Amino acid sequence: MRRRGFDLLATLGLAVTYVVVARFGLAFDAVAGFATLVWPPTGISLAAVLLLGYRVWPGIFLGATIANVLTGAPLLVALGIGTGNTLEAVVGAYLLGRIPRFGVTLENVTSVVALIGIGVLSTLVSATIGVASLYLGDILATPQLRETWRAWWVGDMVGALLITPIILVWFRPPQTRFRQQRRELVALVVTIIVVSSTTFFSGMTNLPTLASPFHQMDLLFAAMIWAALRFGQRGAATAALWTSAVAVAGTMRGYGPFALPEVHESLLSLQTFMALVAATVLLLGGIVAERRLVFEEARTARDVAAGADRAKSEFLAVMSHELRTPLNAIAGFAELLETGVYGPLNDEQAKAVGRIHHSERQLLSLVDEVLGFARAEKGDVEMKTGNVQVEEAFDAAVPLIQPEVRRKHVVLKRDVARPTLAVLADPERLQQILVNLLSNASKYTEDGGMITLGAEPAGAKVRIWVRDTGIGIPKEQIDKVFDPFFQTDHGTTRRSTGVGLGLTIARDLARRMEGDVLLSSEVGAGTTASVLLPAA
């Protein structure tokens, strides 16, 4: 019931508005009394159907019929004209609705081009039916047909290009945000008022002239471009409508660059010009709004991704920390079993407890790896940089990887160019890097293979390297191995353990110490991981 009441009020309001605005437009030197070059009702009708739906078409028909009856048209002629005006709006809205990506806020180029093109085409309907109605009603003679049809079409087209956009863009909130200061808005409004007034009222004795008519047009275009660039479609549509209003007022009084002896010819030239101006600034506004919308969507997506990344890091940090508690308990109870607190163990039980210890240490290593990655991502890693002897760093790291090396019967040797080599680094973080690289080398080296830990000067830096005789890395995967959680062998048939964070953490720590981690590898021939750090 409420919907019907709203529809009725909207239809009656549209009819009344149509009559009032039509009477205003017909006052501008209408050809044959019915075809005027200033016809806002077309823009109002098209916007009404686009925003409110096809159900308001009776308001257009009723308003157009009454307006033409008041102008002096016989009832049948007025009904014919009303039919043409109604079809013009309905057909235009229908065609626009079939355009992909058309939006009533006109914030993309497709929407603007569609409005311009269909605004030009749909107005042919009203002009043709209207002139035919006048001719069949013996109101127009054959010699008047061409001039009347042209005036009707141009007036309707300009109405569609000037009035429809301003209603659409102000009726719906824009998707893009334009953040300008109030001072800029005031400056723009003053500029457009001054430039449009001096341009289209040039010739008045008491009005100052800013420049020649040609340069005044340049200033006018510059002001309207300013409106489109900084205020989007609302700025572009408002500036175009204001300029048109001032231009029509000045031209009707015989002022400005479009003033000719015949008012009709003056308005024809002016309205053709304004149609081109409106189309240009709307296109520019559409381009600006479209690009800004893409930028805002990208920024929103980046913020969402950053938030998800932070949540992931926090989750990993919390879970890694919480997992350490039960793992410590497992290790503690395993040690109690080994010491015989709960009674002596037979050989099979001792082996089972040993497996528990091994699995606990392995899982704790994975947890520490994830925790280190989470801390690095959150920026919670402290760096205490100082002079670190390379040999001392090796001595600290090798014992931590020795059990795994022995288990696989891998030969671990050193190759240091000078015993006195030193780097500027955090000792703890350097040890973490070396352990990660040695652990990776051990994982991917077959039993009985070899791992070489070496160091040599490299200009202002020192190159520390870990070389293995393992399976190697395919060339297409070299750049990917530094990505978090990436593994060269994956799936259920993996031969090595780990979560794929060792190299990620190592490179991050090295870069925090003004260094880097590089890889070179050949499938079947092994891998060399190089750590470059500033020389001490």
What was the pLDDT predicted at 360?
74
What was the pLDDT predicted at 135?
94
CB-based contact 378:317 (threshold 8 Å): yes
More confident position, 356 or 86: 86
> Is residue 30 over pLDDT 70?
yes
Q: What letter does residue 535 receive in the DSSP assignment?
A: B
Rounded mean pLDDT of 430-447?
88
More confident position, 71 or 307: 71
DSSP 139-177: SS-GGGHHHHHHHHHHHHHHHHHHHHHHHHHHHS--SS-
> Is residue 305 over pLDDT 90?
no
Rounded mean pLDDT of 181-200?
90
What was the pLDDT predicted at 424?
93
CATH topology for the 1-173 domain: Arp2/3 complex 21 kDa subunit ARPC3 (1.10.1760)
- Here the tokens at position 49 are 């159907």
Largest separation between any pair of C-alpha atoms in the chain: 122
- Taken as a whole, the chain contains a residue count of 536
131-158 residue pLDDT tens: 999 999 999 999 999 999 999 999 999 9
369-424 residue pLDDT tens: 666 666 666 665 667 889 999 999 999 888 888 888 888 889 999 988 888 899 99
What is the rounded distance in angstroms from the CA atom of residue 125 to the CA atom of residue 64?
A: 14
Of the candidates 233, 238, 353, which has an alpha carbon nearest to the alpha carbon of residue 282? Answer: 233
Give the number of other CB atoms < 10 A from CB of residue 73. 23
Q: What is the sign of the dihedral through the CA atoms of 115, 120, 124 and 126?
A: positive
What was the pLDDT predicted at 494?
46
Strand partners, 456: 463
What was the pLDDT predicted at 493?
43
CATH topology for the 303-378 domain: Helix Hairpins (1.10.287)
What was the pLDDT predicted at 491?
47
Rounded mean pLDDT of 511-535?
90
What was the pLDDT predicted at 264?
85
447-481 residues labelled b (16+ CB within 10 A) or e (exposed): eebebbbbbeeeeebbbbbbbbbbbbbeeeeeeeb
What was the pLDDT predicted at 306?
73
What CATH number does the domain located at 386-534 have? 3.30.565.10
Q: What letter does residue 56 receive in the DSSP assignment?
A: G
241-270 residue pLDDT tens: 999 999 999 999 888 888 888 888 899 999
> Is residue 356 over pLDDT 90?
no
Least confident window among 27-41, 129-143, 199-213, 338-352: 199-213
**Domain extent listing, the chain:** 1-173, 303-378, 386-534
Give the number of other CB atoms < 10 A from CB of residue 420. 10
What was the pLDDT predicted at 261?
86
What was the pLDDT predicted at 99?
93
> Is residue 84 over pLDDT 80?
yes
What is the rounded distance in angstroms from the CA atom of residue 236 to the CA atom of residue 170?
A: 12
CB-based contact 257:270 (threshold 8 Å): no
What is the rounded distance in angstroms from the CA atom of residue 146 to the CA atom of residue 230?
A: 42
Rounded mean pLDDT of 186-211?
78
